[in-house]
Chain A
Amino acid sequence: MMTANTEDFVIVGAKNSDANEHISKPALSFWQDAWRRLKLNKLAVISMWFLILILAFAVISNIFVPQKDANAFNSDKVGVYKNLPPNSGLPIPGWDGKIKAPGDNASTDVYESQGVPDGEKFILGTDNIGRSVAKRVTVGLRISLLVAIVATLIDLLIGVAYGVFAGWKGGWIDNTMQRIIEILSSIPNLIIVTMLGLLLGNGILSIILAIAMTGWLGMARQVRNMTLSLKERDYVLAAQSLGESSFKIAIKHLIPNMAGTIIVQVMMTVPTAIMFEAVLSAINLGVKPPTASLGSLISDAQAMLQFYPYQVLIPSAILVVVSLAFVLLGDGLRDAFDPRASED
């Protein structure tokens, strides 16, 4: 019979216990991991930088395009400056200050025919009373973003508080709060927004409130579902047994752990808010003229679409591109936070 001696055995690989413990890749936190995955999604990264630029532009443009400047027009010279087509100063068809009226064969240089002083040109044209579309759109974008972002922040606040409270309390409180959400969400958003718009009147604050009142439902529902599953976790039990208050558990444990879901939901709420602002403008409940928003620019110029399409299409394009960037970034973030969803 053979006896096994330790000397008979040769250690293969794993020379010492330190080598076993060696970590070849740096440990990534949840956020680092999400960021790493987000960076792989080119469209999402482009959208992110684009949105950062747009937001920076909206803030900084306050300095060189104040609202007063964009609203002002020279009432004596409306005839000279009105409805000038976009003019880049370069001979690019459709962007050279010439316009072909429906029925005409040749395009006319409107700048010349209306007697605009030489050298003066409007890169995005002018509107029906001679205000620069470029300035109007700059201010409009600023107002639309302000409305959408503030409304979304209010949604975030109400939605998260409502959702966490309902999910955490459970029982009949949760049940009642769920029924309230059910009832509110079976009323078309358009109606709620219109009613509040009518009640509060025209004005940026009332538009923000009207939009915020409908947007929080989705957030509340998602946060509540997350809370229901998170509150069963061990770390919550541990915090409870250490005597942590419910409020602190919510702030320190629940909300940080559902941050991914919340951020994605926010990204998806902003485009909806931008759209509802435009809808409100179209039904005469938008910002008060002469203030401009993307929505009011679109609906004001819409009647003249056939003759001056640029006045409608420019703000429309900006609205679409900004919404698209939010949706793309939201999609990218969802995949980054929840890799299982995208691995399908």
Chain B
Amino acid sequence: MWKYILKRLVLMVFTLFLVITATFFLMQIMPGTPFNNPKLTPQALAQLKTTYGLDLPLWQQYLSYLVGAVHGDFGTSFQYQNQSVSMLIGQRLPVSAHLGAQALVVGIIAGLIMGAVSARNKNNKIDGTLGILSTLGISVPSFILGIVFVYLFGFKWPIFPVSGWGDSFSQTILPTLALAASPAAITTRFVRSEMIESLSSDYVQLAKAKGLSDKEIVNKHAYRNSMIPVLTLVGPMAAGLLTGSTLIEQIFSIPGIGQQFVTSIPSKDFPVIMGTTIVYAAMLMVMILITDILTAIIDPRVRLQ
């Protein structure tokens, strides 16, 4: 077990190192920095470059960036003067984490319920309806769902606020639902097929032979065993949420890192882009690692592999 965790940790650190290196050198060859404004005098330009440490040799810049990144220091933003990137990200990260976690929890719980209901009602109308809903949930990108929600529940029937964050719980409802749709759909499909499989397995047959009621069989045997594999979905779903949340944050004017990432791209604020990229990659990797370890703890079969 420890060996497994250690192996995964080493791979993770190596991947992060690759991401940092790749982003650093990609940014070096990116066309156009905020500094190529023709109005800047050579002296002002030199001054700016010294401020941001861009006059040093490349390897020195890389090394200091790497050392900084390990300490959580990603340099200073081009766009917001004297604001360190880690501070900018630090302010916004809790908002994004809150939104993402809320959406993931809502999505998974909804999916667990709908998947179980679907499997119990296999091939009848309820199953069919849930099947259509989950297919829709998979095919509709979250930002389109967000736009439709804003239109319907913000403008047409103004029930919920459609922008901002942190003033009231009702502000979080629409963005959470828009983001939760896809995890809910993925979980529903997965739990349905897992549960149908376990309902026809030997231990369920045995439970039936013992004379357990259908309810007990489902609750005690089938459902528990179908829930564990859902954990393996959390990683990919979190990756999907990352993509979705950037646009959702923009649509609902939520001050998270996604929104910052989006606004820093047109202004070519490279330190912010790099910092956000690394934070994103690290978050996703930690997420996948945690779920993998949890799966290994819960399901002994995984450990043996």
Q: Please, how many angstroms separate the alpha-carbon atoms of A302 and B251 in the complex?
A: 8
Chain B interface, >50% SS class: helix
Main secondary structure of the interface of A (DSSP, over half): helix
A300 at the B interface (CB under 8 A): no
A189 within 8 A of B: yes
CA distance A260 to B224 in the complex (A): 33
List the A side residues contacting B23 at CB < 8 Å. 195
| B52 located at the interface, meaning its Cβ lies under 8 Å from any Cβ of chain A in the complex | no
Q: Which residues of B131-190 have CB atoms within 8 Å of chain A's CB atoms?
A: 135-136, 138-141, 143-144, 147-148, 150-151, 155
Cβ of B26 < 8 Å from any Cβ of A? Answer: yes
Residues of A within 8 A of B65 (CB): none
Instruction: Give the residue of B22, B26, B150, B280 whose beta carbon is less than 8 angstroms from that of A305.
Output: B150
Contacts of A237 in B (CB 8 A): none
> A313 to B151, Cβ gap below 8 A?
yes
Q: Is the CB of B155 within 8 A of A186?
A: no
Q: Is B97 an interface residue (CB 8 A)?
A: no
Q: B85 → chain A, closest Cβ, in Å? A: 16
Give the residue of B15, B29, B150 whose beta carbon is less than 8 angstroms from that of A187: B15
Contact with A along B205-225 (1 / 0, CB 8 A): 000000000000000000000
Q: Is the CB of A282 within 8 A of B242?
A: no
- Residues of B contacting A275 with CB < 8 Å? 141
User: Is there an interface contact between A282 and B15, defined as CB atoms closer than 8 Å?
Assistant: no
CA distance A328 to B140 in the complex (A): 12
Q: Please, how many angstroms separate the alpha-carbon atoms of A324 and B134 in the complex? A: 11
Contact of B155 among A102, A284, A302, A324 (CB under 8 A): A102
Could you tell me if B18 and A323 are in contact, using CB atoms closer than 8 angstroms? no
Q: Is the CB of A188 within 8 A of B265?
A: no
Partner of B239, one of A188, A199, A298: A188
Choose one: A186, A298, A328; the contact of B285 (CB below 8 Å).
A186
| B193 & A344 in contact (Cβ 8 Å cutoff) | yes
A271 within 8 A of B: yes
Contacts of A190 in B (CB 8 A): 242-243, 246, 280
Task: Identify 18 residue pairs between A and B in the complex whose beta-carbon atoms are under 8 Å apart, listed by A's number.
Answer: A182-B11, A188-B242, A188-B243, A188-B280, A190-B246, A190-B280, A194-B265, A278-B141, A282-B247, A283-B265, A305-B147, A305-B151, A309-B155, A319-B141, A324-B135, A324-B140, A327-B138, A344-B193
Interface residues of A (CB under 8 A from B): 102, 179, 182-183, 186-191, 194-195, 198-199, 201, 271, 275, 278-279, 282-285, 298, 302, 305-306, 309, 312-313, 316, 319-320, 323-324, 326-328, 331, 344
Chain B residues with a Cβ under 8 A of chain A: 11-12, 14-15, 18-19, 22-23, 26, 29-31, 135-136, 138-141, 143-144, 147-148, 150-151, 155, 193, 196-197, 200, 239, 242-243, 246-247, 250-251, 261-262, 265-266, 273, 277, 280-281, 284-285, 288
User: Lowest 10 A-B CB distances belong to which pairs?
Assistant: A324-B139, A190-B243, A323-B139, A275-B141, A284-B266, A327-B139, A344-B196, A183-B15, A316-B144, A188-B242
